[in-house]
């Protein structure tokens, strides 16, 4: 009898081999250059030298970096103190109220601190969110087939091979909607993502969200059609959280790098510039660089949100914030052209209503708990403050400075 470890290795090898085959098959056809259905032509040119000045020479970009780093630091420090704050709130603030209010307060506190929420409605919505996450890619593929696109409207198909790709997408969509052979489906999605490197790494990075559901599919049983999959295990949820955060993190930096694209979107859809968090990051900057600062602030907002999702800090809170943004973009700002956002909405909902959330700072928390038991107050404070400070600096400034030295002539 084969061990579970050997079976898992065989499962992984089979999925990887199918991914390579899918890439070869997809590479046999051609497609047009990457473009968006959302209008993105600049109505007025940006001051491009703003993006190529070092942080030392650019006080406005430096100010945005400081604003983001301060917010990131605040959330990291609060996270490290979250259990103490929750205990204080429940005992000192809610202690004088009745049992019903205390229970509601405890549920809200658990929700905000990513602890398990013991509520029947929460559990039911979580099951529905998983179903939406697993099925919504099928709807996106169906929509892509009707718009002569590959996976999403951002990637239009070549007319000479469009028919083959459209039928292939419909076939994969049927597998997804019927929950059949999910590992094969995941391999096909992974192969499709690899195929996008044909147009360059930037195009593939734009399609990173594909990997979220691909990771879930490849880790699903081959007889997936026999199971009612309404929950994800802790490992699958960790992959969903990490890849979702990585997608926002990478796309945020790319927005700053390819600044004309996002500025052009804002020129055609001015309502996207009214985001409170983005405008907060631009506080203290020169008004003459309003559009340029908005681009950097918008990108950094995604970087901040993505990083906190990647490491699992206030996961539900930031997923809820990103859910509101995605919904607004789809229903109010861009309309039907961004209907594929329903897939990201499904992923965010699955994270928000999951009781299997983990975080990557648990090692520091374990060290803090050990120091507490030994009565080492200095080490406790160091573990709760030093790592957040170091992370806030390293996440924001090195890459932001590096982007000022990159060549954008080919964009």
- pLDDT tens by residue, 218-248: 999 988 888 888 889 999 999 999 999 999 9
CA 117 to chain centroid: 23
| Residue 166 pLDDT grade (very low, low, confident, very high; cuts 50, 70, 90) | confident
C-alpha–C-alpha distance, residues 241 and 359, integer Å: 10
| Residue 155 buriedness (CB in 10 A; 0-12 / 13-18 / 19+) | buried
The more confident residue out of 155 and 68 is 68
| Residue 187 pLDDT grade (very low, low, confident, very high; cuts 50, 70, 90) | very high
C-alpha–C-alpha distance, residues 362 and 355, integer Å: 17
Give the range among 11-25, 53-67, 70-84, 334-348 with minimum mean pLDDT: 11-25
Phi and psi of 22, rounded to 5°? -65, -40
| Residue 307 pLDDT grade (very low, low, confident, very high; cuts 50, 70, 90) | very high
Q: Which of 409, 408, 402 is nearest to 61 (CA)?
A: 402
Mean pLDDT of the region 92-117: 80
Bridge partners, 152 (sequence order): 150
The more confident residue out of 217 and 104 is 217
Mean pLDDT of the region 371-390: 80
Using alpha carbons only, what angle is made at residue 79 by residues 75 and 84, rounded to the nearest 5 degrees? 130
pTM here?
0.84
Mean pLDDT of the region 161-174: 87
C-alpha–C-alpha distance, residues 82 and 315, integer Å: 13
The angle that helices 341-352 and 120-146 make with each other, rounded to 10 degrees, is 160
What's the confidence (pLDDT) of residue 37?
54
Across all residues in the chain, what is the average pLDDT?
Answer: 83
**Has residue 70 got a pLDDT over 60?**
yes
**Has residue 18 got a pLDDT over 60?**
no
Q: Which residues, including other chains, have CB under 8 Å from residue 235's CB and lie 6 or more apart?
A: 219
């Amino acid at each position: 009898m084969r061990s579970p470890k050997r079976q898992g290795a065989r499962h992984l090898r089979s999925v990887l081999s199918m991914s390579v085959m899918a890439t070869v098959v997809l590479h046999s056809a051609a497609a047009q250059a990457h473009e968006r259905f959302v209008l993105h032509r600049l109505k007025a040119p940006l001051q491009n030298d703003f993006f190529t000045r070092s942080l030392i020479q650019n006080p406005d970009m430096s100010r945005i970096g400081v604003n983001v780093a301060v917010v990131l630091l605040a959330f990291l420090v609060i996270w490290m103190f979250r259990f103490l704050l929750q205990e204080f709130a429940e005992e000192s603030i809610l202690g004088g109220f009745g049992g019903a209010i205390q229970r509601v307060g405890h549920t809200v506190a658990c929700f905000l601190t990513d602890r398990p929420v013991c509520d029947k409605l929460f559990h039911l919505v979580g099951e529905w969110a998983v179903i939406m996450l697993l099925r919504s890619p099928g709807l996106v593929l169906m929509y892509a087939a009707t718009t002569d696109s590959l996976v999403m409207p951002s990637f239009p198909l070549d007319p000479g091979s469009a028919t083959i790709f459209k039928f292939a997408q419909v076939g994969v969509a049927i597998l997804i909607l019927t929950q059949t052979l999910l590992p094969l489906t995941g391999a096909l999605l992974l192969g499709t993502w690899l195929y996008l490197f044909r147009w360059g790494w930037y195009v593939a990075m734009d399609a990173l969200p594909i990997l979220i559901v691909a990771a879930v599919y490849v880790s699903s049983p081959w007889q997936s059609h026999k199971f009612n999959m309404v929950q994800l295990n802790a490992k699958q949820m960790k992959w969903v959280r990490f890849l979702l955060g990585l997608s926002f993190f990478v796309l945020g930096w790319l927005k700053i790098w390819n600044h004309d694209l996002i500025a052009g979107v804002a020129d055609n859809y001015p309502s996207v510039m009214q985001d409170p968090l983005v405008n907060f990051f631009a506080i203290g900057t020169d008004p003459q660089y309003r559009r340029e600062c908005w681009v950097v602030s918008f990108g950094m907002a995604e970087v901040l949100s993505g990083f906190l999702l990647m490491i699992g800090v206030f996961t539900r809170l930031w997923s809820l914030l990103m859910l509101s943004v995605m919904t607004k973009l789809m229903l109010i700002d861009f309309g039907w052209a961004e209907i594929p956002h329903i897939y990201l909405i499904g992923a965010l909902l699955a994270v928000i209503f999951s009781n299997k959330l983990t975080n990557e700072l648990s090692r520091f928390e374990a060290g803090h708990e050990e120091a507490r038991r030994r009565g080492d107050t200095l080490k406790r404070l160091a573990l709760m403050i030093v790592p957040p400070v170091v992370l806030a600096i390293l996440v924001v400034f090195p890459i932001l400075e590096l982007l000022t030295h990159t060549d954008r002539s080919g964009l």
